[in-house]
Structure formats: C-alpha cells, structure tokens
Amino acid sequence: MFPQSARLYDALYESIDYEGHAQQVIALVQSHGQHTCESLLDVACGTGMHLSFWAKTLNVEGLDIDPDLLGIAAERVPEATLHLADMTRFDLGKQFDAVTCLFSSIGYVKTVERLAQALTCMCSHIRPGGVLIIEPWIPPELWNPGAVVADFVDNPDMKIARMNISGQEGNVSTLNFEYLVATENGFERFSERHELGLFTNEQVEEILRSQGFTVTYDPVGLRGRGLFIAAKPA
C-alpha cells in the first residue's frame, strides 16, 4: 500500500490526535456495547499509533496488509499481537469486544464485493454484545476529482513535500502522489498511486445490517469523515 512512503508515514501524520481518537473510540464502544471492553482488534492498524494507546488498558491485536507499516507497529507496540493479512480474507480464530478500521482504510478494498467481504470478516470477529467501528472514505457525492493538495513536514533532520492530484475512474477515487524528501544524505523524489473505492453510506449500512448488526452513523466522527458504529446483539 505504501511501497516507498511507509518510513515517512508517522512524520506526515504527526499532527493527528491519536490519543484523543483512541479515547473517543473506546467511549463509543462502551456506550454502544453490552459489556466492558477488554479486547480490541484494529484492522489496517498501520504503524500502530492507535494501538499504542489502547494497549495501556486493553488486550490488543492489529492487522495490516503492508509489512513495512506492520514492522513499525511491532517496534512501537511490542505487547500487541500483529497479523500480516488482507482485511477481505482473514480468520484469527477468536472474537473481540471491539473491532476497528480507522483512517478511511476501508476505501482500499476498492469494490463493493470486496467491501462486503471485509465487513463480513470484521463482523465475524466480534463477540455477541461487541461493537465494530468503521471510519469511511469520502462518499462519491463529496469526492472532488481534480483537487490539488500539498502537505509539508519541516522537521530538523527531514523536510518532506507531498503533493497530490485527485482523480476518478468509475467508482474508484485515485490519488497520485509526488514526494520530495530532503535529509542530510541529499534529495529523493518518488511517486505513489493510491486507489480507494467510493462507497455510499447506504451500501456500508446495508452490508452491516445484513450481518445482524444495529448501525448508528455519526456524520462527523473522528476527523470529519463520519463514523459507523455497528453493535452486535448479545
């Protein structure tokens, strides 16, 4: 997923309030679930920033398809059990009080068929009375092809300029990134292309309800992209 930029991931997103988001998620799990949250699986856990805060009070596990991101997570949260796996087809042989998939990672499944596979996998790993939290990608009616975006990192030992032009191919959004990185070793330039499916809220909710879950949608969520809170009956 991040073939060249995994090592830059934390620097690019250092302004994110991971601790605040982690606390907000647990509060939602406690209010929508039917028992105390003691175990949590974070799907698409990335570099383990959220896990590092949950691990202070919960038994946590993480799952990601990117070995480089997972390697960083392993160093950050050594007490967590981590799994290298595709979110559309995994079976850990256990269930959790809570399962999360944050930071719009669900968009990487790209198609409705794979969306259903991923959500079904996640739902199957939630114990009765538990909660699934999904932070969606941007819905199709709000996607803005042609938008030009730039992010900059100005750390003492590293400068990063990341520019992106958004596009769309059918029901898939495209992000074409150009990176310029400066360190004491010189300049480095590379490109990455990311593709994320554009799913409607109705499509997500329909799949979750088909699994027998009660679904609540928060239009704001953690970062303004909304949040699906799906509770499994006890």
Could you tell me the two tokens for 36? Answer: 């105390």
Mean pLDDT for the chain? 97
Domain count, the chain: 2
Specify whether 115 is located in the same domain as 148: no
pLDDT digits over 45-71, tens only? 999 999 999 999 999 999 999 999 999
Mean pLDDT of 113-124: 98
pLDDT value at 41 more than 90: yes
H helices of 42-83, in order, are: 49-54, 67-76
**pLDDT score of 36:** 93
Share of residues in the chain with pLDDT > 70 (%): 100
Specify whether 79 is located in the same domain as 131: yes
Kindly state whether residue 80 falls inside one of the protein's structural domains.
Answer: yes
CATH of the domain at 226: 3.40.50.150
pTM: 0.96
pLDDT value at 2 more than 90: no
Kindly state whether residue 1 falls inside one of the protein's structural domains.
Answer: no
pLDDT band at 173 (very low <50, low <70, confident <90, very high): very high
**pLDDT score of 1:** 75
Is the Cβ–Cβ distance between 97 and 40 less than 8 Å?
yes
**pLDDT score of 133:** 98
**pLDDT score of 197:** 98
Specify whether 178 is located in the same domain as 162: yes
Q: Which residue has the higher pLDDT, 200 or 3?
A: 200
Sheet containing strand 126-134, strands side by side: 81-84, 59-64, 39-43, 96-101, 126-134, 227-231, 214-218
Residue-range definition of the domain harbouring residue 52: 6-139+198-231
Specify whether 160 is located in the same domain as 48: no
List CB contacts of 125: < 8 A, sequence separation 6 or more. 41, 92, 94, 95, 96, 99
pLDDT band at 98 (very low <50, low <70, confident <90, very high): very high
Mean pLDDT of 152-175: 97
Specify whether 164 is located in the same domain as 214: no
**pLDDT score of 38:** 97
Give the residue among 134, 137, 136 at the shortest CA–CA distance from 28: 134
Worst-scoring range by mean pLDDT, 3-7, 18-22, 52-56, 208-212? Answer: 3-7
**pLDDT score of 83:** 98
**pLDDT score of 113:** 98
The Cβ of residue 129 has, within 10 Å, a number of other Cβ atoms equal to: 14
pLDDT band at 111 (very low <50, low <70, confident <90, very high): very high
Instruction: Give dist(CA 97, CA 80) in Å, integer.
Output: 16
